[in-house]
A and B are shown apart, each in its own frame.
Chain A
Amino acid sequence: KAGVTQTPRYLIKTRGQQVTLSCSPISGHRSVSWYQQTPGQGLQFLFEYFSETQRNKGNFPGRFSGRQFSNSRSEMNVSTLELGDSALYLCASSLRTSGVDTQYFGPGTRLTVL
């Protein structure tokens, strides 16, 4: 099976712009979660989508939003970019058929805000 794919891999934006990141989960996986990784902060949970519905949300401002399509592909949008939004954004997919399942990560999108 193909793994989780994320596009683009690298992105450079300037403050105030907006950005959309894309994630294609592993075939058959219905849950997609997004994480932000910054130096010294580890991976911080942004949100999770399951069957096109947001199921969990982390502690991020409303500038961060997402959605999931009927084919389970997901997009994440960040509006009014700030310098502090520079990070590696990771997408993970899982089956979510039980309380215990494993998330598989994509390679990430490296966002740099200038």
Chain B
Amino acid sequence: DQQVKQNSPSLSVQEGRISILNCDYTNSMFDYFLWYKKYPAEGPTFLISISSIKDKNEDGRFTVFLNKSAKHLSLHIVPSQPGDSAVYFCAARRSQGNLIFGKGTKLSVKP
């Protein structure tokens, strides 16, 4: 049973436009959510996180939105750059629990 789902395996966006990556979860006990970016042959790199007590967190070009009633979060990248091309993983956890990851979305930003 997949508790964290990223339903889009891939996404292609034009440089300068907005990239929106989506993530759904099933466990209402999750209280912390994170996004990681992963390049080939490297470990995931932490991007941005959000606590369940918030509905938005912003860091530069990256914004994460959390809709608890829909059990949905999204990562917005504005403006998208070719260097943003990578696989993006959504992750969630309960307090003191382990991280549970989605299967990732491969983002391609075309010049």
Contacts and interface: CB of A to CB of B under 8 A. Distances in A.
A99 B49 contact: no
A45 B100 contact: yes
B45 A105 contact: yes
B65 to A, nearest CB: 18
Q: Is the interface of A mostly helix, strand, loop or mixed?
A: strand
Interface residues of A, number: 26
A64 interface: no
Interface residues of B, number: 24
B42 interface: yes
Contacts of A104: 46
A56 B32 contact: no
A61 interface: no
B103 interface: yes
Contacts of B104: 42
A42 B34 contact: no
Interface in B26-69: 31-32, 34, 36, 41-46, 49, 51
Nearest to A90: B43
Contacts of A56: 97-98
Contacts, number: 59
A4 interface: yes
Q: Is the interface of B mostly helix, strand, loop or mixed?
A: loop
Nearest to A56: B98
Interface in B93-109: 95-104
Interface string A82-105: 000000001010000001101111
Contacts of B25: none
Contacts of B51: 100
A105 B36 CA distance: 10
A42 B89 contact: yes
25 contacts: A6-B43, A35-B101, A41-B103, A42-B89, A42-B101, A42-B104, A43-B89, A43-B91, A43-B99, A48-B98, A58-B98, A90-B43, A92-B43, A92-B99, A99-B32, A99-B95, A99-B96, A100-B31, A102-B34, A102-B46, A102-B49, A104-B46, A105-B43, A105-B44, A107-B43
